[in-house]
């Protein structure tokens, strides 16, 4: 097969109103309209969705897994970002 | 299973080159039941095994549409037709989830199709058997999908994230498949003498091929120890096969059907159904391309691929023209 490769799209679906869109897989399609159609047929055959986003996979910028430590580790030591770091006098009650 | 050919030796297996450090870290991730994600470092042999397993699984779903698709136009009622149509659409969907998961490992969809169409990649031997009567649709749902579920539930915990996620979706959908098949069998068994005979005949023909779906016996199985260590596979072929037999025999007896195995008997002590020896010569023959329908299945797949080529080409040209037109209009407007 020496065909032109069909572009790849990432699919995000919103299960119901009030929830964020969540990545669920990918589809191949020539354009955005057909990508949406394919995503509907492939990923929502049982009412799993009220909304779909598709985006060209090549448009996604991702962090490098090998940078995981320098990228995310610094927040590990910043315990003062959590409410439990602070003391509230008992007689003040819930805050 | 759908990937039973994995247990057949692969030519030119390369050994992972060096980097013991990374390999140890990788194994630690797997050992603590964390998931491996697409861009994480992984041993080449892990990647290669997964590509083979996931793509064989995908090919099986796609080829698996043919034996059942054979009965869509002849389903006995509108209800049965709608259900069968939905089931075959699910098989297409499962194939596509799995191709997408395989692609995250760096292989293209075009390469995967090429491997199937050229006959380089295998698919499950079960789909090389013909569907001769309507009862076969019942037997496939009950036995083939039942066997598939047995194998696929542990795969939901597979160490490779995208594969595990695809399997979770698939398992949710498979249980409908098995129930619709069993219901077809139950309806036939509650019908006329002829209908009961049809159900029995379907069981006679599908029972042994269903047991073969679990792949070679553990004593002849290659690749098993690596896939166990990597937590791709959790149970051995024989373990899963035994579980399937234990679950299925009572279901068949409930319908008043008899299994085509004179050695089948319940071992009180072990608490398991003991069954006779599988015809491994048949298993090998069908897997290597010489089953009743191998040629037909491949021919149909190749024709469909070739017949759709002009559609894919036209859609791509249309998309390109739209993009060009839109950018020309934008320039004109500026």
Residues B268-302 pLDDT 10s: 999 999 999 999 999 999 998 899 999 999 999 99
Minimal C-alpha gap between B93 and chain A (Å)? 5
Interface test with A, best of B100, B108, B160 (most A CBs within 10 A): B100
Q: Does A60 touch chain B (CB under 8 A)?
A: no
Chain B residues closer than 8 Å to A34 by CB: 315, 319
For the cut 70, the answer to whether the pLDDT of residue B46 exceeds it is yes
pLDDT bin (cut points 50, 70, 90) of residue B18 is low
pLDDT bin (cut points 50, 70, 90) of residue B9 is very low
**CA dist B153 → B53, B172, B304 (Å):** 15, 10, 31
Task: Note whether B315 contacts A31, CB cutoff 8 Å.
Answer: yes
**Minimum-distance CB partner of B315 among A1, A34, A43:** A34
- Tell me what ipTM this predicted complex has: 0.85
Minimal C-alpha gap between A26 and chain B (Å)? 6
Q: pTM here?
A: 0.90
| CA dist., res. B97 & res. A27, Å (int) | 9
* CA atoms within 13 Å, Cβ hemisphere of A70: 4
**A24 exposure class (CB count in 10 Å sphere: 0-12, 13-18, 19+):** buried
Interface test with A, best of B99, B316, B317, B322 (most A CBs within 10 A): B316
A 70-89: CB under 8 A from B: none
Minimal C-alpha gap between B190 and chain A (Å)? 31
- Average pLDDT for chain A: 90
Place of tokens 């008043």: B256
pLDDT bin (cut points 50, 70, 90) of residue B321 is very high
Percent over 70 (pLDDT), chain B: 94
Centroid of chain to Cα B47: 19
Percent over 90 (pLDDT), chain B: 83
| CA dist., res. B129 & res. B67, Å (int) | 8
Work out the number of other CB atoms within 10 angstroms of the CB of residue B16. 14
pLDDT bin (cut points 50, 70, 90) of residue A70 is confident
Task: Note whether A45 contacts B93, CB cutoff 8 Å.
Answer: yes
pLDDT at B110: 93
**Minimum-distance CB partner of A3 among B97, B101, B110:** B110
- Average pLDDT for chain B: 92
| CA dist., res. B299 & res. B327, Å (int) | 43
For the cut 50, the answer to whether the pLDDT of residue B8 exceeds it is no
| CA dist., res. B263 & res. B279, Å (int) | 14
- Taking only the tens place, the pLDDT of each residue in B182-233 is 999 999 999 999 999 999 999 999 999 999 999 999 888 765 688 899 999 8
Q: What tokens appear for B228 in the block?
A: 């166990």
pLDDT at A11: 97
pLDDT at B293: 95
- Taking only the tens place, the pLDDT of each residue in B97-129 is 999 999 999 999 999 999 999 999 999 999 999
């Amino acid at each position: 097969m020496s065909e032109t490769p069909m572009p790849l799209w990432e699919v995000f679906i919103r299960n119901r109103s009030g929830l964020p869109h969540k990545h669920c897989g990918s589809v191949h399609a020539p354009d955005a309209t057909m990508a949406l159609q394919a995503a509907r047929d492939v990923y929502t055959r049982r009412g799993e969705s009220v909304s779909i986003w598709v985006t060209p996979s090549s448009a996604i910028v991702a962090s490098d897994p090998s940078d995981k430590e320098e990228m995310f580790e610094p927040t590990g030591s910043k315990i003062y970002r959590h409410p439990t770091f602070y003391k509230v006098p008992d007689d003040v009650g819930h805050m | 299973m759908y990937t039973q050919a994995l247990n057949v030796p692969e030519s030119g297996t390369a050994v992972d080159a060096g980097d013991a450090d990374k390999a140890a870290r990788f194994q630690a991730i797997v050992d603590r039941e964390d998931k491996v994600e697409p861009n994480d470092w992984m041993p080449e042999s892990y990647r290669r095994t997964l590509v083979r397993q996931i793509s064989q699984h995908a090919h099986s779903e796609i080829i698996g549409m043919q034996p059942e698709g054979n009965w869509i136009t002849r389903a006995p009622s509108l209800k049965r037709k709608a259900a069968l149509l939905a089931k075959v659409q699910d098989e297409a969907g499962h194939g596509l989830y799995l191709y997408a998961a395989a692609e995250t490992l760096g292989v293209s969809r075009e390469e995967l199709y090429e491997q199937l169409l050229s006959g380089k990649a295998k698919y499950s031997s079960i789909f090389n058997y013909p569907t001769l009567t309507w009862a076969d649709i019942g037997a496939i749902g009950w036995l083939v999908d039942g066997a598939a579920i047995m194998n696929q539930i542990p795969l939901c915990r597979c160490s490779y994230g995208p594969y595990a996620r695809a399997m979770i979706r698939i398992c949710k959908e498979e249980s409908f498949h098995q129930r619709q098949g069993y219901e077809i069998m139950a309806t036939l068994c509650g019908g006329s003498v002829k209908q009961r005979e049809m159900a029995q005949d379907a069981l006679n023909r599908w029972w042994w091929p269903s047991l073969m779906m679990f792949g070679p016996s553990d004593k002849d199985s290659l690749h098993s120890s690596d896939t166990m260590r990597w937590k791709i596979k959790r149970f051995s072929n024989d373990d899963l096969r035994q579980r399937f037999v234990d679950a299925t025999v009572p279901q068949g007896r409930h319908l008043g059907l008899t299994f085509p195995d004179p050695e089948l008997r319940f071992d009180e002590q072990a608490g398991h159904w003991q069954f006779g020896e599988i015809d491994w010569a048949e298993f090998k023959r069908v897997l290597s391309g010489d089953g009743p329908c191998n040629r037909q299945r491949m021919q149909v797949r190749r024709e469909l691929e070739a017949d759709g080529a002009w559609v894919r080409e036209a859609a791509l040209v249309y998309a390109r023209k739209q993009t060009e037109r839109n950018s020309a209009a934008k320039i004109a407007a500026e």
